[in-house]
Amino acid sequence: MYNGGGHQYVFYAGQDWMIRKGVEPLRIVRGDRVRLADRFVRPTGYRTAAERLVQPGSVVLLGAKPGSGRRAAAIMLLHELGGDGDADEEPVRFDELPATDRDRGEFSFSPGVGDRYLLDLSGISGDESYAEAQHRLAAYRSQVQEEGAHMVVVLPVGMAHAPSPDLEPYTVRLGRPRGVAVVTRYLRMDRMPFGSGDLRSVGLQRLFDCSPMRELARFAGLVRTARDSGRFGTDIAGWLDQAMHAVADRADEVRKQMATVRTTAERALLITTAVFEEAPADTAYEAWHVLLRTVGYEEDGEATKFERTDFGASLNALGVERDSDGRIRFGRLAYAEAVRSYFWTNFPGVRDDLRDWIGQAAVLRGLTTDDRMNVVVRFGEGSLAVARPDHLFDLVARWAGRAPGASCDPLAVRALELGLSHESSGGWFRKRMYDCVRSGPLSDGLARVLIAACVQGLASTHPDQALVRLHHLALRKGRVGLEAGEELLGLASRDRGLYRLLIDRLRNRTRRAEQPHLRLLTELMTSGRSPDPPSWPDLFLGCEVILSQPPTKLWNPLVRSWLNVAAADSTREMALLVMVRATHGRTAALHRLYAIACDWASSARHPSRAAVAAVFWQHIDDAQYARTESTQQPADGPQTTEEAR
């Protein structure tokens, strides 16, 4: 039964009826889920939740304390349902749903059988926000149950005064996994040589019992770093000890050092080392002096360079070492991270100077590509931790503008990807990108960075938003617009939901033949861009707009592409009927289709071409006959199917 507005187009080609799905806003990438599955430890209550989730249309709500790994548990519950690893089947969707109306953006929720959805409400606070989230949850739950999908919801805490009794039957309470089991799993995945007795110290037990899951994962990562560095012994005891001090003591150690390091030069060298750790000492020296100039420091004009403290002594005084390759580093594990955190937190007045400094110092000639990327990540982490995403984007624009010719600056791309992937600031960067692509003047360098960020990062997590931004960029004149258009069409061609979304966007914006929307739509409709197997209703909708325009040279590659496909595969002959029906019997359009087919059939003498052209011509004749019959009917006579539409 059809209840929607507008026309309804139904085609049957010996296959299942085509079901169109909406485009969800956030995809939980399978590679990340697989890595999480290798390290995941099931909490108490997990089995109960898994048993409830198995049936199609099931919804499970998870209640758990912060730091208990509740989001990871929700992802694993959905992941373990399977369904996206078989190459012979079209994978089901695995997406995250927006928790509030503010996050919805351009969002359409249309679940299908077996699709899996995560709704994370853990960040919700306040009665009004919670009421809004409850309303959205009820809407999602109804559709999931009706369509046979699966959904797991992470509930917020501290809202006991605003319960929802009808949700209680769906709620499962999770306990906290054993901390020692979590760390053990991580260490084993990192092939760490250890025994159970190595994890029984009082300090470790306190860490295992009290720390949130994210902190335990960080601890295990520091153990691996200590091992891989080769600087902290050759056994697990030394690595564990360094990691323990790194998570428990480093902040206090930095505060104590800052009480003794008072001069501008010393503090500038401290933060320089923290940002340029593992970089060549000579380049770090140059970066140090760039920072001193940036903050307006003037050296003692009376002392000669030989009279000043030598660089090596200045490093040693701060606990900084130089290895055999001439690269600098702190002697203590994760000390640089603690120093950076201290400066960004406690010196808000110099954050603008730090931004300008990094803009110059990250491109110093003595740095390798890895050195530069480390600097970008460290600056980005500091800026995002203190809620200054604008500082990071300022550098994106600055670095993008220096890219020569048709190149794309890798530092700018890395900085933008870092912002997009940030849990709290990702939305800010997505909106900033949207504002950029719609705001008018935009340098080619920045446009290329935005294209790269859409393709390399945003398309994996927010594919619909990547498509929208690429669409705007594809409307630009010149080479950059063509590059964006190619990436846009490539993205849409790989996903049925995105394919339909782009068709709808282009159809709604196509008015005149010279507009770029029509060019993009025509190329999207060619056989090479169509999903396999083709979606005939989608092809009809796109061709309907194209073939309603006066015939242009854009028609030739579209029609010929489908004639070629039909000649190679008879199951694709439905495309011929779709194109003819899309003309709605308009004489000029039918004549043009006929001429294209004639030219195509005569360009290569082959029986398959002649046969396909004959089928195409027959459809054209049928359409012309139907139109003639309809024009000769009395005004009150019966209507044909085409007229009813």
Nearest to 433 by CA among 418, 451, 406, 414: 451
Residue 514's pLDDT is what?
58
Distance CA 184, CA 196 (A): 9
Instruction: Please give the model's pTM, rounded to 2 decimal places.
Output: 0.84
Residue 504 burial by Cβ neighbours in a 10 Å radius (0-12, 13-18, 19+) = middle
- In this prediction, residues 409-430 reach a mean pLDDT of 93
Question: Cα dihedral sign for 173, 178, 182, 183?
Answer: positive
The three-class DSSP label of residue 26 is strand
Q: What percent of the chain has pLDDT over 70?
A: 86
Kindly report which listed range (44-53, 374-383, 405-414, 474-483) carries the lowest average pLDDT score: 405-414
State yes or no: pLDDT of 366 exceeds 60: yes
For 567-599, how does the pLDDT look when each residue is reduced to its tens digit (9 = 90+)?
999 889 999 999 999 999 999 999 999 999 999
Check if the beta carbon of residue 462 is closer than 8 Å to that of residue 104: no
Segment (H or E) for 208: helix 202-210
Helix/strand/coil (H/E/C) assignment for every residue in 186-198: HHHHCCCCCCHHH
- What is the per-residue pLDDT across 595-631, written as a single tens digit (0 to 9) for each? 999 999 988 777 889 999 999 999 999 998 876 666 5
Query: Token match 């489908």: residue?
Result: 562
104: tokens are 């919805």
Residue 613: CB atoms within 10 Å = 22
Q: Which element (helix H / strand E) includes 94?
A: strand 94-96
| Cα angle for residues 287, 409, 27 (degrees, 5° grid) | 115
Rounded to whole angstroms, the Cα distance separating 123 from 108 reads 22
Q: What is the pLDDT of residue 300?
A: 60
Residue range 461-512, pLDDT digits in tens: 888 899 999 999 999 989 999 999 999 999 999 988 899 999 999 998 886 6
Whether residue 239 is predicted with pLDDT greater than 90 in this model: the reply is yes
DSSP secondary structure, 335-356, as one string: HHHHHHHHHHHH-GGGHHHHHH
Beta carbons within 10 angstroms of residue 474's beta carbon: 23
Q: Strand, helix or coil at 515? A: coil
pLDDT at 561 over 70: yes
What is the distance between the alpha carbons of residues 393 and 431, in angstroms, rounded to a whole number?
12
pLDDT tens digits for range 286-344: 999 999 999 998 776 555 555 566 899 999 999 999 999 999 999 999 999 999 999 99
